[in-house]
Chains A and B, each alone.
Chain A
Amino acid sequence: MLKFAPYLLKTLWRHRARTMLTVSGSAVALFVFCFVGSVQHGLDSLTSQSESTLIVFQANKFCPATSHLPQDYDQIISKIDGVRDIVPIQVFTNNCRASLDVVVFYGVPAAKVRTIRDFTLVEGSWSEFENSQDAGIVGETVARRRNLKLGTKFSVGDVKVTVAGIFKSSNKSEEDYVYTHLDFLQRTPGMDLVGTVTQHEVILDSSVDPNAIARKIDDRFRGGPVETDTRTKGVFQASSLADLVELIELSHYLGYACVGLMTMLISTTTFMAVQDRIKEHAVLQTLGFSGYLVFGLVLAESVLISVGGGVVGTGLAMLTLAGSGLSVGAEAVTIAFTPSVKLAMASLTGSLAVGIAAGLFPSIAAAQSNIVDGLRQA
């Protein structure tokens, strides 16, 4: 087939305006597909998080600003069989509603951050963070979006933090958060939250049933000073993002619709190319090209256009996603628009499949055309 590459490429170049427009259309479709896919990927990585971590929240509360659990609940919960560790967390967010620009502060006992999170500091030092009361470590995405550098003092509302480190995480949504000292966040002027926390994060032994432990925790505090609502971290995050999840599910179909449109676009272009060249294909068959070879040549044209659009669209989407650090959040849980090799491969494989699907019928039509009738075409 490589022997026919010059013919193939020159044929595509013959109608370059049409080819470029189709490639551009495919690129736009796959750009949108990748964007939608990145949100879905971000959501999946949030909701499929380890089942062995529980979030204890105040019952019947939704926004972190309204959940106030006694901090000393950690002493009681830590005694439950199957609980390996517990971390009290104060959450502060600038916006509880769904937003594209959410800044979330997690106040955690400084020494615990390293043990409960899989962070790598790309700038700054752990000791500087642990030894300075108003220090915060900032996720790479937030730092890029807000142009935060090491040593920068910044404030959101009444929270004023000095950047002591910038981290990256295997979980991209974590890079949308700022981690500070727990007591620092509790003492934020105007909040007076000493002794209370927004939630407790409970890390379980791997052998235990997380739902059973969750029920045990909620039963323990039922009728107590503050009732709790305990769920696995994945379920907790999914319910925090419930409204967004519906929107994301809907946008999922938008991604598939783009792929469908792309198939129609490439199929139309390939059909037009075949109709323009009925005589040329008849000449090729007269020279000895078999129907299978003509089929292969037309299919290759369709695949080249589709994959060309796929490479451009996927490449642009990956660059944009990696460079922009976009995220959407609600109730202090954020979904990072996560570019990944897996998503890029899915998009490129999709473009290959679209090329084959779109080229199938035009290729069959070209291969089965009658040679004598074709030669009679003007």
Chain B
Amino acid sequence: MLIEIRNLTKTFQKGDEIITPLRNVDLDIDEREFVSLMGPSGTGKSTLLNQIAGIDKPTSGTITVNGTEVTRLSRTRLAKWRAANVGYIFQTHNLIPVLTAYENVELPLLLLPFSRAERQRRVQIALEAVELLDRASHYPRQLSGGQEQRVGIARAIVTDPTIVVADEPTGDLDSTTSALILELLQRLNSQLGTTLLMVTHDTDAAMVAGRQLRLDDGRLIADSATRLTEKKDESRSA
């Protein structure tokens, strides 16, 4: 099992109110799986994604990725772990505006012990994979929304991470471009074997993934692979 999530709970205080976006979530994800995570707004989809990506810490519970219990890592170790193991695709691309497409894709590689030549090789492969090698010297402002998102995808896969997480990657795009991006993600999963976890509102987009999860009120309520851990636990206890 690549990702094992056990009893994951996240609470935080907003004014006088205590909010619990995740309640006792248990989940397993295999290597090379393409998983989509759906649910209404505010049900904890992005919160779960952020916990798995190691950019947020749970209140309780554990997340183990490829044998590493990431919930126990310090802030600095977690940053190192993210650099080597996580590729993150944002809804709003979030490219660095002063850097070219090439430099944006190269950025995560600067954190890893790669030579200049190796960095160059990897950036070229990543840009080729998203069919944007000819736009390498372009700045984000010179690219369309779809092209920006493809650069964002190249940046996410360039380090060959253990998992790629995508937070509504088509949320800012028109339907034609969304279809192209989803096709690209599917290709990355099927051809390169990238493990993908995608948060989406769009049912059609979710169906591109091999496995669909549904969250509601911080609980995992459905799993297309019928591996919903809560249900398993219930049947086990019965």
Contacts and interface: CB of A to CB of B under 8 A. Distances in A.
A287 B110 CA distance: 10
A7 B55 contact: no
Contact of B84 (A7, A280, A284, A288): A288
B180 to A, nearest CB: 23
A372 B107 contact: no
A371 B56 contact: yes
Contacts of B103: 6-7
A287 B56 contact: no
A286 B99 contact: no
Contacts of A14: 97-98
Interface stretch (B25-33, B37-45, B62-70, B75-83): B75-83
Interface in A280-323: 280, 283-293
B75 A291 contact: yes
B192 interface: no
Contact of A290 (B55, B79, B108): B79
B74 to A, nearest CB: 10
B155 A11 contact: no
Contacts of A291: 75-76, 79
Contacts of B53: 286
Interface stretch (B88-96, B170-178, B217-225): B88-96
Contact of A283 (B56, B94, B111): B94
B20 interface: no
Contact of B90 (A283, A284, A289): A283
B50 interface: yes
Interface of A: 3-4, 6-7, 10-11, 13-14, 279-280, 283-293, 371-372, 375
Given A6-B99, A7-B98, A286-B82, 8 more contacts: A6-B103, A7-B96, A14-B98, A283-B96, A288-B108, A289-B111, A291-B79, A375-B90
B96 A3 contact: no
B55 A10 contact: no
A10 B94 contact: no
A10 B97 CA distance: 10
Chain A at the B interface: SS class = helix
Nearest to A4: B110
Nearest to B108: A287
Contacts of B79: 285, 288-291, 293
B98 A11 contact: yes
A287 B107 contact: yes
Given A292-B76, A372-B55, A287 B98 contact: no
Contacts of B50: 372
B80 A290 contact: yes
Task: In the A-B complex, list the 8 residue pairs whose CB atoms are closest, starting with the nearest.
Answer: A288-B83, A290-B79, A10-B98, A288-B82, A371-B55, A283-B94, A3-B110, A287-B108
21 contacts: A7-B103, A10-B98, A13-B98, A279-B94, A285-B55, A286-B53, A286-B55, A287-B88, A288-B80, A288-B84, A288-B111, A290-B75, A290-B76, A290-B79, A290-B80, A291-B79, A293-B79, A371-B55, A371-B56, A375-B55, A375-B94
Nearest to A14: B98
Contacts of B97: 14
A13 B79 CA distance: 28
Contacts of B111: 287-289, 293
A283 B55 CA distance: 10
A279 B91 CA distance: 13
B52 to A, nearest CB: 12
A372 to B, nearest CB: 5
A286 B54 CA distance: 8
A280 B96 CA distance: 7
